[in-house]
């Protein structure tokens, strides 16, 4: 049953507060217009937590996007996220801005700034100022550089300071690994894993817990985290510290134990008037994906689901944008609402702008294919227009309709055809050109060398 509770605040502050008060906000109206839905249906789903609209009150350049499904089960379009950010080994801010440009050019719905080296606030603030896409962060990544302390010296109060700094800057959603509590750690240690913990944020929290002997600070002080997020309407993206990092570990005791905890934390966030997304695997065999999507929706009360991949095989370094796109298409068609891209550089190095382009296009293909499969209203319209343009051999229209127009045009122009209205694949033997001529009552005369 869907959990709905009134937020314990005198005046509505967040999207979920306003929705429960019966008000359609400008952000809800914008999502309704973008998705071709009724604004009241959007409001009702936000009120129940089925749709999240990450929209920090300080992100003035934001073009709001909705993640999830309406109460009648009709999904919104699957959203796609791009990860980027400054790394200690490759600290090149100009390169990161090049990636931002590619992400915005190709229509990414979200950008996660995963910067983890040095003072990252200036980059984050400028990204929020420039970007119409929603912005996410993982405050845990920033903690050591922001606080200038060794990991074991950081206190729970310090962690909360970093969360507040990100919220004040205008971040729309934050990944908080609050579900990996002592109970989950015990399950992980008892059952074991092939790849252990592959979540960067999860590994840091695990290290802190083991070194200090304390509970996960984001779990122990979860109410304080929620109070900060509510103040700025930051959506909590409940991170999956125990996501499987290999197909062998998929759907194991540690993953499921954490998911149970995430379901409890989802309800607590809704009670506090905070919007929720839940993060999911990871690496997973193709035949396990659909069941995992249903499991998450059941245990987390229909909250929007945000998945990385899943990568369906572990032996394709250099091509993991493909392994992730295969899994992403299955995941989204089975109920996932939000896909995090994976690039060809996954497991190998920090991605460059070219990797970002390849990864984002692959993930957008997966998302769009899933939208068609799960019946998102209007999802097939663009495909039908492309088919009509192909029938008419209308190249400029085809390029405009492509997910990556620049790439499509560049490939075509790299090998100019000798016959107008064709390409070098078929030349004069182009099936569409031949049938068009016949349908127009024209004679078809192919030269001998075209047989």
Which residues are annotated binding-site positions? 83, 112, 141, 177, 199-201, 240-243, 279, 283, 306, 347, 423, 426, 430
Q: Which residues of 248-287 are buried (b: 16+ CB within 10 A; e: fewer)?
A: ebbbbbbbebbbebbbbbbbbbbbbbbbbbbbbbbbbeee
pLDDT in tens, 256-289: 999 999 999 999 999 999 999 999 999 999 999 9
Tokens 């989802």 correspond to 266
Mean pLDDT on 329-347 = 98
pLDDT of the residue at 447? 62
CA–CA dist 64, 34 (Å, integer):
9
Annotated binding site for [4Fe-4S] cluster: 423, 426, 430
Lowest-pLDDT range of 242-251, 283-292, 337-346, 426-435: 426-435
The neighbour count for residue 208, using CB atoms within 10 Å, is 20
Domain segments of the chain as ranges: 68-373, 381-450
- 256, 313, 257, 251: which is closest to 288 by C-alpha? 251
The SS3 assignment for 218 reads helix
- The SS3 of residue 377 is coil
pLDDT in tens, 291-323: 999 999 999 999 999 999 999 999 999 999 999
CATH level 3 topology of 68-373: TIM Barrel (3.20.20)
Q: Where are the alpha helices (DSSP H) in 337-415?
A: 353-373, 381-391, 395-401, 405-413
Nearest-angstrom CA–CA distance, 377 and 368: 12
Nearest C-alpha neighbor of 359 from the set 401, 305, 311, 399 = 311
Neighbours of 221 (CB within 10 A): 18
Residue numbers in the known binding site for Zn(2+) are 283, 347
Which amino acids are annotated as binding site for substrate, given as ranges?
A: 83, 112, 141, 177, 199-201, 240-243, 279, 306
- Work out the percent of the chain whose per-residue pLDDT is above 90: 88
Q: Which residue has the tokens 């944020």?
A: 201
6: exposed, middle or buried (Cβ count in 10 Å: 0-12, 13-18, 19+): exposed
């Amino acid at each position: 049953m869907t959990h709905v509770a009134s937020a314990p605040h005198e005046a509505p502050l967040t999207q979920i507060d306003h929705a429960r008060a019966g008000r359609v906000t400008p952000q809800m109206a914008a999502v309704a217009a973008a998705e071709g839905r009724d604004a009241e249906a959007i409001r009702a789903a936000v009120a129940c937590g089925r749709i999240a609209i990450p929209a920090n009150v300080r992100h003035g350049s934001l073009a709001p996007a909705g993640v999830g499904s309406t109460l009648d089960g009709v999904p919104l379009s699957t959203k796609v996220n791009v990860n980027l950010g400054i790394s200690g080994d490759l600290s090149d801010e100009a390169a990161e801005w090049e990636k931002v440009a590619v992400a915005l050019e190709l229509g990414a719905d979200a950008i996660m700034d995963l910067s983890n080296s040095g003072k990252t606030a200036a980059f984050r603030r400028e990204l929020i100022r420039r970007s119409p896409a929603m912005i996410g962060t993982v405050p845990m990544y920033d903690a050591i550089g922001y606080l200038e302390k060794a990991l074991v010296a950081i206190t729970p109060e310090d962690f909360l300071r970093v969360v507040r700094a990100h919220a004040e800057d205008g971040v729309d959603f934050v990944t908080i690994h609050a579900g990996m509590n002592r109970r989950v750690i015990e399950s992980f240690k008892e059952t074991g894993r092939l790849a252990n913990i592959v979540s960067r944020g999860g590994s840091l929290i695990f290290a802190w817990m083991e070194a200090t002997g304390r509970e996960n600070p984001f779990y122990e002080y979860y109410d304080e985290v929620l109070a900060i997020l509510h103040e700025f309407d930051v959506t909590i993206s409940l991170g999956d510290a125990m996501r499987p990092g290999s197909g062998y570990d998929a759907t194991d005791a540690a993953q499921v134990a954490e998911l149970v905890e995430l379901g409890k934390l989802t309800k607590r966030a809704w009670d506090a008037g905070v919007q929720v997304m839940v993060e999911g695997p990871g690496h997973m065999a193709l035949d396990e994906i659909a069941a995992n999507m249903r499991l998450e929706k059941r245990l987390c009360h229909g909250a929007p689901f945000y998945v990385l991949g899943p990568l369906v095989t572990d032996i394709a370094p250099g091509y993991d944008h493909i392994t992730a796109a295969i899994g992403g298409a299955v995941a989204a068609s089975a109920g996932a609402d939000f896909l995090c891209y994976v690039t060809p550089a996954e497991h190998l190095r920090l991605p460059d702008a070219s990797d970002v382009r390849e990864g984002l296009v692959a993930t957008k293909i997966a998302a769009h294919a899933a939208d068609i499969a799960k019946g998102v209203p209007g999802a097939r319209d663009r495909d039908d227009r492309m088919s009509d343009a192909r029938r008419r051999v209308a190249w400029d229209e085809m390029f405009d309709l492509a997910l990556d127009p620049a790439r499509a045009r560049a490939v075509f122009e790299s090998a100019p055809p000798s016959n107008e209205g064709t390409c070098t694949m078929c030349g004069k033997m182009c099936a569409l050109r031949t049938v068009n001529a016949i349908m127009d009552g024209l004679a078809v005369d192919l030269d001998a060398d075209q047989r």
